[in-house]
Amino acid sequence: MFERFTKDARAVVIGAIEHAERAGEERVDEPHVLLALLDREGSRAAFALAALGLTGQREAVVRDLAEARRRGGLSRADTDALAGLGVDVAEIVSRIEEAHGEGVLAAGRQGGARRSGRRPFTRGAKDLLTMSLRTALAHDDRHIGDEHLLLALTARPGVPAEVLADHGVTHESIERVLWGKGETKAG
C-alpha cells in the first residue's frame, strides 16, 4: 500500500512516528498523524487546513489533543456517553492525578523501554491508513496523498476528528475546499 503514497503522505506517516517517539509513546496513534499533518507545508492537506483557517490555530489544536491525552485519550463523545452512566471522567482523572501524578493517564500506554526499533501502529492508526486508500479510490485518485489521510481522519470517530471539528475542519469542509463538493449546500 505504501508504494501508492505520495511524498507528502509518506512524510506524514514518518512525522507521526517521530511525534510518537518524541512523546515517548510506545505506539503510533491517530493523534500523532494529526500532529504530523499540522507540520506539513505546501501539500494538499496544508492547503486545505490553511483554507479552513487552521494555520493560526495550530497551538490550540495541539493543546486540545494534549488535553484529550490527559483524559486517557477519551473523546468528548466518550466522556459524554460515560456521563450518561454517571461516570464523571474529569473527577476520575483528577483523583488519579492526585494520587499518581499529573498526566499519569496520558502515560497509560507508554512503554518507556522502546528506545529504538520499529514503533507499532495502533489498530486505529492502521485502519486510518486503510481508510485513506479507500478515500483516494472514492475520489478516483491513483495515489494516496496527505489530503486523503486528513479526510480519513475526519471521517473516523475519535479525538482527532472532534478536535478538528471544534476548529471548523470537518469531512464536509475539506471536501468543499479540495474537491468543490457541497457548495450548493454550504452556500
Q: Which residues bind other proteins (CB under 8 A)?
A: 72-74, 77-79, 81-82, 84-87, 89, 92, 96, 100, 104-105, 107-109, 111, 113
Residue 168 corresponds to which cell in the numbers above?
471548523
Helix (H) or strand (E) holding 32: helix 30-39
Using the minimum distance from each CB to other proteins, give the nearer residue, 12 or 89. Answer: 89
To other proteins, the closest distance from the beta carbon of 100 in angstroms equals: 6
Using the minimum distance from each CB to other proteins, give the nearer residue, 108 or 168. Answer: 108
Residue 89 identity (one-letter amino acid)? V
Using the minimum distance from each CB to other proteins, give the nearer residue, 115 or 142. Answer: 115
Nearest to 169 by CA among 45, 52, 35, 50: 52
To other proteins, the closest distance from the beta carbon of 20 in angstroms equals: 16
Residue 176 identity (one-letter amino acid)? R
Residue 115 corresponds to which cell in the numbers above?
528506545
To other proteins, the closest distance from the beta carbon of 97 in angstroms equals: 10
Using the minimum distance from each CB to other proteins, give the nearer residue, 24 or 53. Answer: 24
Measure the CA–CA gap between 64 and 66, rounded to whole angstroms: 5
